[in-house]
């Protein structure tokens, strides 16, 4: 089984993932800080083609322009040394207290302006290091107190902010696409643009020439938090031509954002995520947004990275096996029933509508068709469980 990553697989991991030292609401750090350059070297050694970063992951918050340049130059040297690229860059608009009540959707015009300025600087950093995507995750763009924000005004402000950043990237030819990452809640009680569907609807309201470079970054874990089907989420973004990035990981449904190792939960749904990406001819990076357990020792964060990559490659092999399994394919092929005569009438026209009204159907006969889903799902399970071939 081919479980060694190849450069063309383009696996990436966020610097914030491996640097996560374990601080959360109930406890402090359990691991020492991980130096960003050591982090980049560690990701390269673990088999990553690239890494993803927030401005503040690399360049400490509040650094001067010259300090920023120095760090970026150093980063470029480490990247060349390790043969590692950057997949996506993003702006941390959630950590500093200035963003306590939102960034682009803050009620305070000064905070909104500051957020746009920080996003421009982060976009510059991304372009400098060759990122192809600029992710916008609006973690603080939400509320706990319904009375605190006019939701229509907040969405209008969100649009203004996204348009500003997209126009900056386009106007300065930074060569990146923007991918908005939805999340239903956490850290806010409710976050604006909670699902991929909301983001798709929102993108359709942007300035037409900016729409082209704005898409979605759905995260498996965030879809599972609201209990919706991740595969369908991704498929809908693909259908709209808007799957610009995707954050892969694992999550038990309806809990806080767990960011577990890819493949750690619901192997069957994860298999169908890989199947969808691979069969769609996905050319983006294969990006993991995961967190080590709080109980992990410092060196175990690399096991997390290796595990994600291995699980993806194992599931990709399973996709090929599923496609080559004669019994499964026989069931799959039988699912589609063609009817050339009826299909010829499926496009709207007055004539087709008139002809369709005259057709006689036998609904009981149609309903009597056996679908074989019990068998199909069992065979899929058995293949994944390793007991077929």
List residues with catalytic annotation.
Answer: 54, 57
Per CB under 6 A, contacts with ligand GLT among 79-118 are 90
Residues 6+ apart with CB under 8 A from 134: 88, 89, 90, 122, 123, 126, 165, 169, 174, 176, 177, 178, 179
Among ligand GLT, Mn ion, none, residue 90 binds (CB under 5-8 Å by kind): ligand GLT
Nearer to ligand GLT, 54 or 188 (CB): 54
Name the residue nearer to ligand GLT (CB basis): 19 or 313. Answer: 19
Which helix (H) or strand (E) segment holds residue 273: the answer is helix 267-279
The item of ligand GLT, Mn ion, none sharing an interface with residue 16, based on CB under 5 to 8 Å by kind, is ligand GLT
Given the rule CB under 5 A, which residues bind Mn ion?
219, 221, 247, 257, 259, 289
Render the burial of 270-288: b for 16+ CB within 10 Å, e for the rest: bbbbbbbbbeeebebbbbb
In whole angstroms, give the CA distance from residue 180 to residue 162. 9
Q: In this chain, which of 55, 141, 219, 233 binds ligand GLT, going by CB under 6 A?
A: 219
Site string for ligand GLT, 11-50 (x = CB under 6 A): -----x----------------------------------
The span from the CA of 104 to the CA of 113, in Å, is: 8
9 vs 181, beta carbon nearer ligand GLT: 181
From the list ligand GLT, Mn ion, none, pick the one residue 135 interacts with, judged by a Cβ distance below 5 to 8 Å according to partner type.
ligand GLT
Indicate the residue among 257 and 325 with the shorter CB distance to ligand GLT. Answer: 257
User: Is 247 among the residues that bind ligand GLT (CB under 6 A)?
Assistant: yes
Minimum separation from the CB atom of position 174 to ligand GLT (A): 18
Instruction: Give min distance, CB of 251 to Mn ion, in A.
Output: 8
**Of residues 56 and 247, the one with the C-beta less far from Mn ion:** 247
Place of tokens 């009540």: 101
**According to the binding rule CB under 6 A, does residue 256 interact with ligand GLT?**
no
Q: What is the CA radius of gyration of the chain?
A: 23
Residue closer to Mn ion by CB (options 195, 380) is: 195
Sorted by sequence, the CB contacts under 8 Å of residue 331 that are 6+ apart come out as 372, 375, 376, 379
Judged on CB neighbours under 10 Å (0-12, 13-18, 19+), 63 is middle
CB 193, CB 138: distance < 8 Å: yes
Among 49, 51, 134, 137, binds ligand GLT (CB under 6 A): 137
Q: How far apart are the first and last CA of the chain?
A: 13
By a kind-dependent CB cut-off of 5 to 8 A, residue 124 interacts, out of ligand GLT, Mn ion, none, with none
Q: Which of the choices ligand GLT, Mn ion, none does residue 132 contact, using the CB cut-off of 5 to 8 A by kind?
A: none
10 sits in the region (left: phi over 0; alpha: psi -120 to 50; else beta) called left
Compute the distance between CA of residue 204 and CA of residue 201 in angstroms, rounded to an integer.
5
Does position 289 interact with ligand GLT (CB under 6 A)? The reply is yes
Q: Determine if 181 is a binding residue for ligand GLT (CB under 6 A).
A: yes
Backbone φ and ψ of 213, nearest 5°:
-105, 10
Question: Does residue 270 contact residue 250 with C-beta atoms inside 8 Å?
Answer: yes
Q: Which residues would be at the binding site for ligand GLT (CB under 6 A)?
A: 16, 54, 90, 135, 137, 181, 219, 247, 257, 289
């Amino acid at each position: 089984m081919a479980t060694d990553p190849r450069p063309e697989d383009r696996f990436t991991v966020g610097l914030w993932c491996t640097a996560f030292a374990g601080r959360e609401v109930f406890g402090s750090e359990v691991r020492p800080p991980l130096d960003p350059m050591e982090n980049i070297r560690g990701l390269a050694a673990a088999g990553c083609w690239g890494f993803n970063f927030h401005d503040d992951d690399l360049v400490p918050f509040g650094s001067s322009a010259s300090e920023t340049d120095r760090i970026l130059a150093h980063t470029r040297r480490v990247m060349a040394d390790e043969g590692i690229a950057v997949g996506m860059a993003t702006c941390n608009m959630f950590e500093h207290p200035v963003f306590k009540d939102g960034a682009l959707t803050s009620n305070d015009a000064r905070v909104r302006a500051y957020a746009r300025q920080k996003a421009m600087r982060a976009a510059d950093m991304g372009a400098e290091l060759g990122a192809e995507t600029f992710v916008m995750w609006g973690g603080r763009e939400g509320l706990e107190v319904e009375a605190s924000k006019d939701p229509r005004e907040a969405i209008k402000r969100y649009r203004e902010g996204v348009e500003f950043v997209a126009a900056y990237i386009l106007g300065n030819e930074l060569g990146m696409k923007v991918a908005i990452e939805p999340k239903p809640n956490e850290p806010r009680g409710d976050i604006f643009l909670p699902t991929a569907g909301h983001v798709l609807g929102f993108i359709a309201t942007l300035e037409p020439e900016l729409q082209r470079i704005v898409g979605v970054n759905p995260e498996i874990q965030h879809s599972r938090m609201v209990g919706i089907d991740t595969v369908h989420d991704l498929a809908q973004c693909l259908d709209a031509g808007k799957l610009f990035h995707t954050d892969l990981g694992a999550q038990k449904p309806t809990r806080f954002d767990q960011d577990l190792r890819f493949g750690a939960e619901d192997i069957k749904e994860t298999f169908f995520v890989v199947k969808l990406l691979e069969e769609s001819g996905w050319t983006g990076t294969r990006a993991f947004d995961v967190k080590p357990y709080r109980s992990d020792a410092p060196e175990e964060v690399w096991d997390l990275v290796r595990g994600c990559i291995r699980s993806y490659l194992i599931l990709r092999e399973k996709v090929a096996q599923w496609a080559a399994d004669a019994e499964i394919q026989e069931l799959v092929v039988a699912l589609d029933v063609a009817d050339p005569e009826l299909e010829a009438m499926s496009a709207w026209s007055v004539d087709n509508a008139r002809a369709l009204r005259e057709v006689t159907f036998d609904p009981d006969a149609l309903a009597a068709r056996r679908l074989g889903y019990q068998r199909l799902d069992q065979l899929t399970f058995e293949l994944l469980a390793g007991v077929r071939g």
